[in-house]
Structure 1
Amino acid sequence: MKHLQISPAWFFTDGQGEQLDPRLFALLRAIHKQNKLTQAAEACGFSYRHAWNMLQHWEEFFGTPLIEKQRGRGSRLSPLGEKLLWAEQRVAARLEPQLESLSSEINLEIAHLLEGNKPVLRLHASHGYAVALLPKYIGELPLDLQYCSPADALSALARNACDIAGFHLPIGTAPALYRDYRKRLKPRSHRIIQFITRRQGLMLQAGNPLGVTGLADLADIDLRFINRQATSGTRSLLDALLKEQAIPSANIKGFEQEEFTHSAVAAYIAANMADAGFGVEAAARQFGLDFIPLAQERYVMACHKQALNDPKFQEFLNIIRGEEFHAAVAQLPGYSSDDCGLVASVEDIFNKA
């Protein structure tokens, strides 16, 4: 199957509206990682001359260097090079859920036009690294993946606007979250598909320069915090943890500043716009940040009991139970696919609180 992917493009207004070559961002990322232009060019599949010419072109455009030569230590990004790199990372991280949801809609419309109507599996879910893997491994199964808050996903399931609702439940903490989600489900008519478990915690600048050791330091140390949006399950978990430790959020500088994905929070910190945030370990590792684990949670999916007999559900379960998908999840730091695809009752899941 051919799939449309949507990504943002950068245009600079210079009288000609020149478009920034997206391969420049790949080169900047490689220079940041390798600290040598020769190795960075090789990692990107460029010749050294092509990489050098690309850098020169955009340095002439901006009128300032993108890299700085270090005698005996290779090259590093200039302040502008770093700013461009982290801006691109933040844009991609912030827009990722909306663009993926939109591409899912458009791909289904194109498939219907070319192949006719086929049974579609509608998944409304809280955004996460493992969920984002599904379109790659779903094969020929038409999947309508829409990202939304856990509460909105469960509401969609209740009014039959989706087939599966994805949300996450903290293990051993935040009982108020369990009560809220539990009242939205009916033990007789709903079933829970276990998906993955993941670690959440504090994401900190590389090397943890402020010496943060736990949640209390967010209020006690003069640091800059970046938060998740109030409707997210991750924000609800953080609020619950702060309440359990009697830490007033009003004492946390930047608590009102919000981003909309784990990776957006991590990119914000990596760009030195904040010192700390809260999210999954995979996001911290992706951006080279330090991480302090504070909670573990189950990511689960609710569905109607009778829907489990539908062939598209059986196909979905076979995919997430398969070795290929499990191997992909294993590559995500802090994630585990144990019991992935296991179907349980509402009571079995919520009694584990």
Structure 2
Amino acid sequence: MARKDDAITCKVKEFRLGKGWSQQELADRIDVRRQAIYDIESGRYLPNTAIALRLARIFGCRVEELFVEHAPPETEPVHLVDDTGGSSTRLALGRVRNRLVGLPLQGAESIPFGLRSADGLLNPDKKSAYILSSSDRLEKTIILMGCDPAFDILGHHVTRLAPEARVHCRFASSHRALNGLAEGVTHVAGTHLHNTGKTETNVVVASQKLVGMRSRVMGFSLLEEGLMVARHNPLGIRSVADLAQPMVRFVNREQGAALRVLLDDQLQQAGIAGSAVEGYENEVTTHREGAYRIACNVADAALGLRAIAEAFNLSFVPITAARCDLVIPTDITSHPTVRILLDVLQSAALRREIDAIPGYEGSVTGTTIAVL
């Protein structure tokens, strides 16, 4: 065996878990010792050509899918446009003649501009569609339901690695996303339910909703959740308890949303009834809707993420951090774009960008949380 190469990510463990095999079972199938499998999966060693080919044959994949090589990042001078001195380090890049131009992705510029092109048009019968995209393009498209805004970033990383692959991100609460997985209307579901004690709520709820559906739960991000408030926090809101103060206009999330559950738990701990909060019954269904109402001065506080607050030039009062996971059915992992997505989850490039988003951390990105 060769020594560890930090430029190569080993995916053997993910493929083995997908088959439901132990390390000993895999070792027996390719005629090596269990210690060899442990060393390969832990990244201590890279296997020789013969063992790599045996592994690929037993998993029915290519060697390149088991051992993913990452090219070293390039660095070169960049000319910043409209730099306001913000804290964001994420850039949209383009070459203008021989100059590398960087557009800072901060504030409103971090939210996509323009309308999305359609793949089809609904026919008058409401039961069929006139298809605009090619069949091959649709076969390489996957749907990801969830409410983490960083899912769009994941989709862009997938397309960079394989330009023909696409990830359609559809905003949905954690429960709706998992229900969509159970109903067979999405390939991947994102969930960031809050843990109670030592209970892994993402895993527990996923196992309840996906009875009989073998799935893998993968870590995606750690994200900071709390209250979005007007710039400089003029009302001095410091906690959920301050929402009950007179003159504070609050906007809530819908029933079942993870942030709504978090709010209710916090209010209960503070001994405050929801009826004591002006606007408790006033609901929106996305982080952006709440932020927009504050920006338009029709609300003073809304539940949301630090990243969204900064995009709308708002201030933020942190409450907690939650882990957002991706739930992927085992039978879906053979989809070519899902395979690429799994590779991207292991990439240092994705983790670095997640770390660069305000209120985010990428330490859990790509880790296997549970196998259902």
Distance 1:135 1:180 in 2: 25
**Deviation at residue 277 of structure 1 after TM alignment:** 1.4
Q: 1:173-252, aligned counterparts within 5 Å?
A: 180-186=205-211, 189-252=214-277
- Residue 129 of structure 1 aligns to a residue whose secondary structure is coil
Match of 1:332 in 2: 357
Residue 118 in structure 1 maps to residue 143 in structure 2: no
1:196·1:298 contact (CA, 8 Å) conserved in 2?
yes
Partners of 2:292 and 2:219 in 1: CA distance: 29
Q: Aligned partners of 2:330 and 2:198: how far apart in 1? A: 27
Q: In 1, Cα distance between the equivalents of 2:345 and 2:206? A: 23
Go from structure 1 to structure 2 and tell me whether the alpha carbon gap of 1:181 and 1:251 turns closer, same or farther (over 3 Å shift): farther
What SS is found at the alignment partner of 2:328?
strand
Counterpart-to-counterpart distance in 1, 2:252 and 2:217: 29
Distance 1:336 1:171, change over 3 A: farther
Q: Secondary structure at the match of 1:169?
A: coil
In structure 2, the residue matched to 1:255 is: 280
Q: Give the percent of matched residue pairs that are identical in Structure 1 and Structure 2.
A: 25
Tell whether the 8 Å contact from 1:187 to 1:346 is kept in structure 2 after alignment: no
Tell me which moved more, 319-328 or 173-182: 173-182
Q: CA deviation at 1:262?
A: 1.3
Asked if structure 1 preserves the Cα contact closer than 8 Å seen for 2:140 and 2:336, the reply is: no
Could you tell me which amino acid in structure 2 is paired with residue 111 of structure 1?
A: S
Give the whole-Å Cα distance in 1 for the aligned partners of 2:243 and 2:318. 15
Give yes or no for contact 2:146–2:171 (8 Å, CA) kept in 1.
yes
CA drift of 1:117 comes to: 5.4
Write the distance in 2 (CA, Å) between the matches of 1:173 and 1:246: 20
CA contact (8 A) 2:217 2:328 kept: yes
Alpha-carbon distance in 2 for matches of 1:223, 1:116 = 49
Equivalent residues of 1:185, 1:346 under 8 A apart: no
Gaps of 5+ in 1: 1-29, 35-88, 348-353
CA pair 325-292 structure 1, distance change in 2 beyond 3 A: same
Instruction: Give the aligned residue type for 1:325.
Output: L
Alignment of 1:303 onto 2:324: no
Deviations 1:94-125 (A, max 9, x none): xx8xx76x85777x953325x565343232x2
Is the 8 Å Cα contact of residues 174 and 240 (structure 1) preserved in structure 2? no
Residues 180/220 of structure 1: CA separation in 2 closer, same or farther (3 Å cut): farther
Q: Distance in 2 between matches of 1:254 and 1:231?
A: 17
Q: Which amino acid aligns with 1:232?
A: A
- Equivalent in 126, 146, 156 of residue 136 of structure 1: 156
Question: 1:298, CA displacement in angstroms?
Answer: 0.8
Please tell me the root mean square deviation across aligned C-alpha atoms, in Å. 3.4
The TM-score with structure 2 as length reference comes to 0.59
The answer to whether the Cα contact below 8 Å between 1:177 and 1:236 also exists between their aligned partners in 2 is no
Q: Is residue 199–residue 335 contact of structure 1 (8 Å, CA) maintained in 2?
A: yes
> 2:178 corresponds to which residue?
154
**Cα separation, 1, equivalents of 2:218 and 2:330:** 11
Judge conservation of contact 2:143–2:169 (CA < 8 Å) in 1. Answer: yes
Deviation readout 1:256-301 (Å, 9 max, x if unpaired): 2222321221221122211111111111122222211111101111
TM-score in terms of structure 1 length:
0.62
Deviations 1:303-340 (A, max 9, x none): 22243344432211112332333333233210111121
Partners of 1:116 and 1:172 in 2: CA distance: 42
Count of residue pairs brought into register by the alignment: 254
| Structure 2 CA distance for aligned equivalents of residues 117 and 263 of structure 1 | 29
Q: Which runs of 5+ in 2 are unaligned?
A: 1-81, 86-107, 122-129
Return the letter of the residue paired with 1:287.
Answer: F
1:318 is paired with a residue whose SS is: helix
Residues 1:254 and 1:105: Cα distance change in structure 2 (over 3 Å): farther
Distance 1:296-1:116 versus aligned 2 partners, 3 A rule: closer
Q: Deviations over 1:66-104 (max 9, x none)?
A: xxxxxxxxxxxxxxxxxxxxxxx8xx98xx8xx76x857
Task: Identify the residue that residue 127 of structure 1 maps to in structure 2.
Answer: 147
Report the CA distance shift for 1:332/1:109 in structure 2 as closer, same or farther (over 3 A): farther
Find the aligned partners of 2:331 and 2:370 in 1 and give their Cα distance: 13
- Between Structure 1 and Structure 2, which shows a larger proportion of helix residues? 1
Worse-superposed segment, 190-199 or 202-211:
202-211
Q: Of the candidates 266, 282, 299, which is equivalent to residue 274 of structure 1? A: 299
Q: 1:103 to 1:251 in 2, by over 3 A?
A: farther
- State the distance in 1 between where 2:219 and 2:269 align: 27
